Amino acid sequence: MQTKTRNILTLGIMAAAAATLVACGGGDDSTPPSQPSAAVNGKAVDFYLSGSTVTFLDCDNKTATTNATGDFTFPAGCTKSALKVTGGTDIGTNLPFTGVLQAPSLEYKEGVTPVISPLTTLVAQHGADQAAAVATKLGLAGKDLPTLDPMQDPAVLQAAVVVQQLIGQVTKTLTGLATGGTLSDEAAAAAAAKAVASAVAGASGTADLASSTLVTNVVSTAVLNAQSGLNTSLQSDIAAVAANVAALAGPVITSYVASVDTALDAIVLNSSPADTLAALKESGSLNVVTESAESTTTTALVQAVTPTALTDASNTTMLGALGDAVSTANTTAIDQAADALGSAVDSGAIAKVANSVKLTDYLQLANLTINGASYPITDTISVTGGTLSSIQVSVTQNGDAFSGNPSQVRAGLSYTYGGNQVDVIIENVTLTFNGSQLVDAVVPANTSYSFRISGNLTAAATLTNSVADSLFSSVNGGSLNLPFTVFLSKLRAAGSLSQAQVDALTPRAVSTFPVTFALTGISGRDVPMGALVDGSVEKAKTASVRTDSEKVTGDGLKTTVTLNP
């Protein structure tokens, strides 16, 4: 079970003794005393960066290498310098770190560890004196970004990783745009970071990094920042290029950033950073971050559009439609949007983009059955029946969604009704398929259920079933049954809720309430899911459900149900 212990990791600062004054003969006492030296220890964090190169820009560009937990030591005699971090491995995703982190020049203070993170990268764009203002814009007021290790603060960690994924996705977009130009990878990263910093500083109130409006603005500004390194044919009408690239890549970037933001919401720190990472892995959260970090979709997407088309302002709306289609991995919609653009798109290149995002091995959610009626998966559903006791989700398997592993999942269900949020996580649901069809769904005996109810009522419990529970329904060719009332009855039987409270938590007409369903594999294995939308398969939305003790993050569905008599 995770705890909320915030065990602050303090790196000791080793103070070297000052050299003694030297007084030599001849009466010449003008020799100045030697300067004291100090070994300053810093830390590089996205998640921790291992084997990265730290460059001390104000100390003759000397370098140091980070260890397995991001620690590094300043060169002798260097206690204040602007910093740059490149290379190495992100220990959260276990992927090579391809970005560039920065930190402004900070006066060394005894007992304080300088930190380089995606958040200090934003601070570096404005200057060290703006650190507090940047923190406030990110919803982190009062937190000292240049010295606070994100792995020791859940809100800072979430913001840091989301910022880095946004900068990284925009950098990849500029890389695709720079074909034939002189823009280096580092210059692209700098242009992206500057654009994100500008958008954060200019936000009204707290910056919403997952907002499509903010992301579109960032992409457009980054293109303008990178203008001098682009092909001269693009520089001829840079305003049109900026608008078109923002329309094209914006939806894809927004999708990745929003998914990462959802995956890292409400992180609970464990007893050590390593344990926190292990819990994030088990929950499925790191799968989402890894997918974003690995993706080169925006690079290929921008390269699939001809330079001439990017300078044509009349293409903006159609390019936006193509970006929307790619963001949902809807290959039918991609083909239609590409056809509308005609010769503006390289048919071979866009086909490769479509194939790269196409779902192949996945679980498909097709319909919801509520109170005996079937409904397609949409953002809003209006149903009748007076009372809602369960939602049944049609599931089929296409290819091998479990990559050769047992077809077992961790499932989470959440809904909000009557001023209360109900969260349920089931540690093991074993699915059985006959070909592609779901034929059984069982919660084996001795499986843990965790519950959390918050709002007007408060309850939390972890229970174990003594006999197997069936979650299978034969409707729609085989469905996973999510019975609200059965789950609540388990709490009543355990003495955590009264029958009157169970009744108060059971949705009744007329009411409107959000429902979230999330699924991941056992031990945090990724289980891709698609949703049938208007006859075409789209990538399912990233969803998270958390109780006090557990979290499930993965593909799933989010919808708002209106219940009528």
Angle between helices 212-225 and 238-263 (to 10 degrees): 130
Both 156 and 294 in a single domain? yes
Amino acid at 129: D
Last residue of a domain, one of 296, 326, 358: 358
Regarding beta strands 551-564 and 511-521, do their DSSP bridges make them parallel or antiparallel, or are they unpaired?
A: antiparallel
Q: Check residue 112 and give its pLDDT.
A: 84
Whether the predicted pLDDT of 23 surpasses 50: no
Q: Check residue 162 and give its pLDDT.
A: 98
Q: Containing domain of residue 327, as a range?
A: 1-358
Q: State the total domains in the chain.
A: 2
> What would the mean pLDDT of 334-351 be, rounded to a whole number?
98
Both 346 and 443 in a single domain? no
Separation of alpha carbons 346 and 431, rounded Å: 42
Q: Tell me: the pLDDT tens digits for 199-215? A: 999 999 999 999 999 99
- Look at the block and give the residue holding tokens 């194939």: 355
Q: Tell me: the pLDDT tens digits for 489-506? A: 999 999 999 999 999 999
> What would the mean pLDDT of 160-183 be, rounded to a whole number?
97
DSSP per residue over 487-535, as a string?
A: HHHHHHHTTSS-HHHHHHHS-BSSEEEEEEEEEEEGGG----EEEEETT
Q: Tell me: the pLDDT tens digits for 129-169? A: 999 999 999 999 999 999 999 999 999 999 999 999 999 99
> What would the mean pLDDT of 515-536 be, rounded to a whole number?
96
Whether the predicted pLDDT of 25 surpasses 90: no
Is the C-alpha dihedral spanning 113, 155, 103, 135 positive or negative?
negative
> What would the mean pLDDT of 282-301 be, rounded to a whole number?
98
Q: Tell me: the pLDDT tens digits for 367-391? A: 999 999 999 999 999 999 999 999 9
Both 350 and 400 in a single domain? no
User: Rg (Cα) of the chain, in Å, rounded?
Assistant: 27
Q: Check residue 45 and give its pLDDT.
A: 97
Q: Tell me: the pLDDT tens digits for 8-20? A: 333 333 333 333 3
Mean pLDDT of all residues belonging to the chain: 92
Percent of the chain with pLDDT over 70: 93
CA-nearest of 430, 432, 401, 501 to 461 is 501
Both 235 and 376 in a single domain? no
Last residue of a domain, one of 317, 335, 358: 358
Which structure tokens are listed for 146? Answer: 């240049």
> What would the mean pLDDT of 327-335 be, rounded to a whole number?
97
Separation of alpha carbons 228 and 230, rounded Å: 6
Whether the predicted pLDDT of 294 surpasses 90: yes
Backbone angles phi, psi at 22, to 5 degrees: -110, 120
Q: Give the H/E segment covering residue 434.
A: strand 420-434
Both 341 and 403 in a single domain? no
Q: What separation, in Å, do the N-terminal and C-terminal C-alpha atoms of the chain show?
A: 41
Q: Tell me: the pLDDT tens digits for 425-464? A: 999 999 999 999 999 999 999 999 999 999 999 999 999 9
The residues, ordered by sequence, that sit 6+ positions from 244 with a Cβ below 8 Å of its Cβ are: 305, 309, 310, 311, 312, 313, 315, 316, 319
Question: pLDDT band at residue 5, thresholds of 50, 70 and 90?
Answer: very low
Whether the predicted pLDDT of 27 surpasses 90: no
Is the C-alpha dihedral spanning 445, 446, 448, 451 positive or negative?
positive
Whether the predicted pLDDT of 38 surpasses 90: no
Last residue of a domain, one of 358, 388, 415: 358
Which structure tokens are listed for 332? Answer: 């039918």
Whether the predicted pLDDT of 262 surpasses 90: yes
Percent of the chain with pLDDT over 90: 90
Cis check for the bond before 510: say yes or no (omega within 30 of 0).
yes
Both 268 and 159 in a single domain? yes
Q: Check residue 212 and give its pLDDT.
A: 98
Backbone angles phi, psi at 478, to 5 degrees: 130, 110
Both 281 and 395 in a single domain? no
Separation of alpha carbons 487 and 473, rounded Å: 16
Q: Check residue 303 and give its pLDDT.
A: 98
Both 158 and 110 in a single domain? yes
Q: Check residue 107 and give its pLDDT.
A: 79
Burial readout 291-317 (b: 16 or more C-beta within 10 A, e: otherwise) = bbbebebbbbbbbbbbbebbbeeebbe
Both 410 and 559 in a single domain? yes
Both 395 and 536 in a single domain? yes
Q: Check residue 436 and give its pLDDT.
A: 97
CB 62 within 8 A of CB 56: yes
Whether the predicted pLDDT of 26 surpasses 90: no
Separation of alpha carbons 363 and 528, rounded Å: 6
Decide: residue 518, CB within 10 A, 0-12 exposed, 13-18 middle, 19+ buried.
Answer: buried
Both 354 and 429 in a single domain? no
SS3 (DSSP) at 105: coil
Is the C-alpha dihedral spanning 214, 215, 219, 220 positive or negative?
negative
Both 354 and 369 in a single domain? no
